[in-house]
Amino acid sequence: MKILIATDGSKFSENAIEKVAGFILSDTSNEIKVITVVEPFTPMAPDTFGVAIDYYREAEKAASENAAESVKKACDELQEKFGDLEINIKSDVIKGKYPKHAIVDEASEWGADLIVVGSHGYGFWDRMLLGSVSSAVVHHAPCSVLVVRGD
């Protein structure tokens, strides 16, 4: 079974990681891929209020570093849980796409059998303007989706 886990470092994503870590995956042919998405940083208007393009570059760099940290933490937790089973765990940080599109695209390209996502995340604009990432994944995924709720 190929399980794609999408994380953003939020508590809900951590719950999704814990849920997968609780699965009994005794078959070593199972694969897990942990991804996170760094959304594009684009100014609402050119040079709004004198904000330099360097600000956006620094913000994107910080987001990329946080994303890499989030994926590493998730992979380490899974590796610790499944260490004896030698399950193949991969990771990727996808840049420049919107999360709901990137998750569905990655699941299609990788051939995932299951996508696991948290029910909420950090993406303010996505939730407020475009709708929930988890909801979009459920409606457009090429495979089954497990949406993990938080505490």
Provide mean pLDDT across the span 59-72.
Answer: 89
Per the confidence metrics, is the pTM higher than 0.85?
A: no
- Closest among 27, 11, 121 to 82, alpha carbons compared: 27
The model's pLDDT over 79-101, given as tens digits with 9 standing for 90+, comes to 888 777 778 889 999 987 788 89
E strands along 22-149, which residues?
31-38, 88-95, 114-118, 144-148
Give the CATH number for residue 115. 3.40.50.620
Length of the chain: 151
Reported as half-sphere exposure (CB side, CA atoms, 13 A), residue 121 has a value of 25
Task: Sheet with 31-38: list strands edge to edge.
Answer: 88-95, 31-38, 2-6, 114-118, 144-148
Q: Give the number of domains in the chain.
A: 1
The model's pLDDT over 105-142, given as tens digits with 9 standing for 90+, comes to 999 999 999 999 988 655 544 444 434 888 899 999 99
pLDDT score of 54 more than 80: no
The whole-number pLDDT of residue 128 equals 44
Provide mean pLDDT across the span 66-83.
Answer: 88
Provide mean pLDDT across the span 1-15.
Answer: 87
The whole-number pLDDT of residue 131 equals 42
Domain that residue 100 falls in: 2-148
